[in-house]
Amino acid sequence: MHTNDPAGKLRLKTLFLFCVVGALASCTAPTPFQELLENHGRQYDLLIRNGRVLEGLDSLARPADVLTRNDTILFIGEVDTAAIVVGQVIDATGKYVTPGFIDTHAHGDPLETPGFENFLAMGVTTICLGQDGDSPEYEDIRPWMEKVDSIGPGVNVALFAGHGTLRQLSGAGYKPVPEPAEIARMEALLIDALDAGCFGMATGLEYTPGTYAGDEELAALAKIVGARNGLVMSHVRNEDNDAIENSIRELLRQGRYCNVQVSHLKVVYGKGAERAEEVLALLDSARSNSAYTVTADIYPYTASYTGIGIVFPQWAKPPADYEEVKRERKEELLNFLREKVMARNGPEATLFGTEPYAGKTLAEVAAEQGRPFENVLLDIGPGGASGAYFVMDEALQGRLLEDPHVMICSDGSPNMHHPRGYGSFAKIIEQYVQEEQRLSLAEGVRKMTSLPAQVLGLENRGLLRAGYHADILIFDPQKIRARATFSEPHQLAEGMEWVIVNGKTAFHQGQLVRKEGKVLKK
């Protein structure tokens, strides 16, 4: 270019100099990997190569390597293997790499079954215990936490303070209206549990003693949870179709003071996706008008599981003397049991999960004994058995599950006679992602990782990011299978190739390798 304009020549020279300087800067600026070496050296514990990384948000997978040291992810990107020394290399070619799954509503005793292989086989690396109002009965929960850490569970454990347990420890027990001193004691116990590291309070208002609690008591405790940025997680008072909205509204009243979550969201006896929309609209409305989070979790099965007391009237359960009830109100109780079970889809829809009737329906047991099913229940009593109850609708529950504010839980344990404890998270991938394509894999992973981590307040978990804890899964989604069934509920899920907990391989190719979990504290 030729010009006689001196100003123009000056501008061209300036532009040229900027280009040269920019080019030199781009040549000398360290890459992210070079910065890693400068900051962290050459020695690392684990390199996952050539995987398709899903961060945990609803986004597309990207090809990347993952590099860890101790329990922490240090780098995600392209790694020059010639520049580092690494203890273990995993080739993830053709597989997805995701954060470990988080089960927001689980059961089990890490002091009795610390391995928790049922959860690890599904890809669950963190479970929340203390559910349905029932947590370890310690006035000071710290010694329990220390015992669990000393044993070393297979998964990380996040604990909630059980509201029913607070009632028992405070002396309130089954009182409909506790004394002021008992309320004060509950408050003090809750404060101490939260200060010890509990993530909030779990209520079980369909069970004793939680069912005796009223608004004033629950609000007082919710205020304490809110002051510490915790979560009230609730098995609401009644999940039946004609009562679910009122039960949720009761929880939402506590949501004026703290974050709230509906446990294992369901509508018993409800039918159709339209009914699900009505329930979701109630939660959406509360969410849009609240300074706090309003969420729910759900398991992908249409049968619940709980104690047989669910079909008994309140007046036959503690603190009532059951033997006295049988003597004085026998016919009334028999009529109640008959009507209740028939309203719950009949005796064929109750499948016992405990001995001596495990694996048999109430109808089958009654036929074997040659007497009415209500008489069988009368003899068993409200505390004498547990079972699965086929009382939900697939279309309704499926629509609830799709909602972006609903995360996944199992509500299961290592020994529960229900497939949800061994299959829930695998079933999400196998059925809802792969077979029915109701969720993308990225969205399914988000509902099992970053969403629960955010709601729980789990620091530096639930995402694959540098600086986050190395709870990592490696799997081919097409190979994931939930093998557990109602007849054989204790079959481990298949296909979760590598499960890494706190930077160490915990589960590989169907086998427990080591227990690397710990108690997480808020």
Question: Cα-flanking dihedrals φ and ψ of residue 467, to 5°?
Answer: 95, -15
Q: How many Å apart are CA 39 and CA 34, to the nearest integer?
A: 9
Per-residue pLDDT of the chain (522 residues; tens, 9 = 90+): 444 555 555 555 544 544 444 444 445 688 999 999 999 999 999 999 999 999 999 788 999 999 999 999 999 999 999 999 999 999 999 999 999 999 999 999 999 999 999 999 999 999 999 999 999 999 999 999 999 999 999 999 999 999 999 999 999 999 999 999 999 999 999 999 999 999 999 999 999 999 999 999 999 999 999 999 999 999 999 999 999 999 999 999 999 999 999 999 999 999 999 999 999 999 999 999 999 999 999 999 999 999 999 999 999 999 999 999 999 999 999 999 999 999 899 999 999 999 999 999 999 999 999 999 999 999 999 999 999 999 999 999 999 999 999 999 999 999 999 999 999 999 999 999 999 999 999 999 999 999 999 999 999 999 999 999 999 999 999 999 999 999 899 999 999 999 999 999 999 999 999 999 999 999
Q: Check: CATH 3.20.20.140 for 101-302+392-517?
A: yes
DSSP string, 300-359: S-SEEEEEGGGGS-GGGSTTS-HHHHHHHSHHHHHHHHHHHHHHTT-GGGEEE-STTSTT
**Burial class of residue 504 in the structure, from the number of CB atoms within 10 Å of its CB (0-12 exposed, 13-18 middle, 19+ buried):** middle
Q: What is the pTM of this model?
A: 0.91
Rounded to 5°, angle at Cα 429 from 425 and 431 = 105
Q: How many Å apart are CA 195 and CA 198, to the nearest integer?
A: 7
Question: Cα-flanking dihedrals φ and ψ of residue 205, to 5°?
Answer: -80, -5
Domain ranges of the chain: 101-302+392-517, 305-390
